[in-house]
Chain A
Amino acid sequence: MLNGKKVIAIGERDGVPGPVIAECLEGAGLEVVFQVTECFV
């Protein structure tokens, strides 16, 4: 279902960082077109 979909991954400093989300999603067959980690405080 997810295979080949494009995704934007936004991670959070005190939660899950962007590269970690991206790695998981790529492993599931998604194409990460943009990933970033932000700090919201």
Chain B
Amino acid sequence: MAEPAKAVRVGIEGVFYSLTHVPDLVRYGSKPLRELRANPELEQQLKNLLRNFNAATAYAPHQVYIGNITPAALNNLPKPWYEKLIEGATCDGRFGDLVDQERFYSLLARADQFNLVTMEEKWFHEHAAKHAVGKAPRLGPLAEVTALYEKGALPLYSSEQLVGAFEPGHAEDASLTADVLLENLAAKVTAAHSLGSLLNALKLSPEAIDFVISCSEEAVGDRYNRGGGNLAKAIAEEAGCENASGSDIKAFCAGPMYGIVHAASLIQSGVCSKVAVVAGGSLAKLGMKFESHVKKGMPILEDVLGSFAVILSAAETDQPCVRLDSAAFHPVRAGASPQAMAESLAEKPLAKLGMKLTDVDRYAVELHNPEITVPSGSGDVPRTNYLTLAALAVMRGQIKKDQMEDFVRARGMLGYAPTQGHIPSAIVYLGHALDALRNNEIRNALFISKGSLFLGRMTQLSDGCSFLVEKSEK
């Protein structure tokens, strides 16, 4: 058997994750928007089940997301997590934070360069002004905000109170309606917040970044360029990365993984020296499963916008790294069955490195929080993915059938990410992986993401991307 090629590693300087709690935007999620139009009586039921910021902060999966609780510790916490809140929980985490709605409105108004957002001045001064840094937001009296709303602007609420209005960017362009632009601007500001927070945490100047890759899911552009993109550069600007340009990587939920592979490739090739991979939150996915949560009398758990930022540069000794030569994609010919995905994204790339499935200490897969998905009948997604990997290990004779549960327990974890598409798709574990590698709790972790290309109705294919994360050698 040929010797595996020399390892190619690119350093991971750090990662930051943020959850922006926006209960009053849940109504603008794609599913609630449609259902509330059809059944207006649902609106009050939804409102009654919205969480406040303290409850969202003390929700155990969110504490895992921002790094205050490990995924392993989540196993031992009592359920339902939405009732058994974490006492003394803080919104600042080891590698992330939670942002409340008042601060979000402030960020939104400040980041608006086209006079789309008008905030009600009295409310803003009382609640959001303390968060305003930089450009002054556009403010007006309640009468002005109300008039904008009556003319067709999207109303922004704080509980029952009208506190702002979001205007369309064009009278006739379906790509520049107020709801589309709210999605896009929300993605921009949440991504920029994560990037700025990561730069602060690493004590890096924004000028040190020379390229930003955004894998946010929004289709930014006008009617002639729907999805034209480069939200990355807008995020770079918002975060003060004056020396950076950027571009977007779109691949449904697999976008972040492709983003990391592209960023690592830019560094390995010498094109760039310090690259940020970022993503903002998906407003369209707010309240996606709200109907089942309403039916069961649960809180509306999909009330947060997820975002993250990762910074990559040349590997340093003993640093957690992306193993670039492990990067694997799901080829057209591979087929979309779970087994074919696992073969393409786990077995084959590991074999290339001379490794078996059992040589991986931790797998990061689709880490959707089961407390969100199980009530709607969507199942425990991470567990399904782990069982597929375990079954493949059985088929290859690496474990016995009765060891499948041990495989899942030892190399997997509970899901803890909100159903924000690209955010749960493996990348959400990177912060904990860096900790576990630095503490020598694991030798490596294989990140596997999937992308549901068929949703765009251009192909029946699925997609996926994977890579190994490990420490560079001493």
Please tell me if the beta carbons of B450 and A13 are within 8 angstroms of each other in the complex. Answer: yes
Please tell me if the beta carbons of A41 and B336 are within 8 angstroms of each other in the complex. Answer: no
Binds A, one of B312-320, B429-437, B452-460: B452-460
Question: Given the known A-B contacts A40-B376, A41-B373, are A14 and B384 also in contact in the complex, defined by CB atoms under 8 Å?
Answer: yes
Please tell me if the beta carbons of A14 and B338 are within 8 angstroms of each other in the complex. Answer: yes
Question: Given the known A-B contacts A14-B338, A17-B462, A20-B337, are A37 and B454 also in contact in the complex, defined by CB atoms under 8 Å?
Answer: yes
Q: Contacts of A15 on B, CB cut-off 8 Å?
A: 338, 379, 384
B368 at the interface (CB under 8 A from A): yes
Please tell me if the beta carbons of B337 and A39 are within 8 angstroms of each other in the complex. Answer: no
Residue of A13, A18, A36, A40 ringed by the most chain B CB atoms within 10 A: A13
Q: Contacts of B338 on A, CB cut-off 8 Å?
A: 14-16
Please tell me if the beta carbons of B455 and A14 are within 8 angstroms of each other in the complex. Answer: no
Please tell me if the beta carbons of B462 and A40 are within 8 angstroms of each other in the complex. Answer: no
Contacting B366 at CB < 8 Å: which of A14, A17, A20?
Answer: A14
Closest to B419 in A: A41
Closest to B452 in A: A39
Query: Interface residues of B toward A: which range?
Result: 20 to 34
Please tell me if the beta carbons of B366 and A41 are within 8 angstroms of each other in the complex. Answer: yes
| Cα A14 to Cα B419 with chains together (Å) | 14
Question: Given the known A-B contacts A37-B460, A39-B452, are A14 and B373 also in contact in the complex, defined by CB atoms under 8 Å?
Answer: no
Q: Contacts of A18 on B, CB cut-off 8 Å?
A: 454, 460
Give the top 6 A-B pairs by smallest Cβ distance, nearest first. Answer: A39-B452, A40-B378, A17-B336, A41-B368, A37-B454, A14-B384
Question: Given the known A-B contacts A15-B384, A20-B336, are A41 and B378 also in contact in the complex, defined by CB atoms under 8 Å?
Answer: yes
Contacting B455 at CB < 8 Å: which of A17, A20, A39?
Answer: A39
B424 at the interface (CB under 8 A from A): yes
Given A39-B452, A40-B378, 4 more pairs with CB closer than 8 A = A15-B338, A17-B460, A40-B373, A40-B377
Question: Given the known A-B contacts A13-B462, A17-B462, A19-B460, are A37 and B381 also in contact in the complex, defined by CB atoms under 8 Å?
Answer: no
Question: Given the known A-B contacts A15-B338, A19-B336, A20-B336, are A41 and B462 also in contact in the complex, defined by CB atoms under 8 Å?
Answer: no
Contacting B336 at CB < 8 Å: which of A36, A37, A38, A40?
Answer: A37
| Cα A36 to Cα B462 with chains together (Å) | 12
| Cα A40 to Cα B384 with chains together (Å) | 13
Closest to A36 in B: B454
Q: Contacts of B373 on A, CB cut-off 8 Å?
A: 40-41
Q: Contacts of A20 on B, CB cut-off 8 Å?
A: 336-337
Please tell me if the beta carbons of B460 and A14 are within 8 angstroms of each other in the complex. Answer: no
Closest to A11 in B: B336
- Annotate A19-41 by CB proximity to B: 1 below 8 A, 0 otherwise: 11000000000000000111111
| Cα A19 to Cα B450 with chains together (Å) | 17
Q: Contacts of A17 on B, CB cut-off 8 Å?
A: 336-337, 460, 462
Q: Contacts of B379 on A, CB cut-off 8 Å?
A: 14-15
Q: Contacts of B460 on A, CB cut-off 8 Å?
A: 17-19, 37
Please tell me if the beta carbons of B454 and A41 are within 8 angstroms of each other in the complex. Answer: no
| Cα A15 to Cα B378 with chains together (Å) | 10
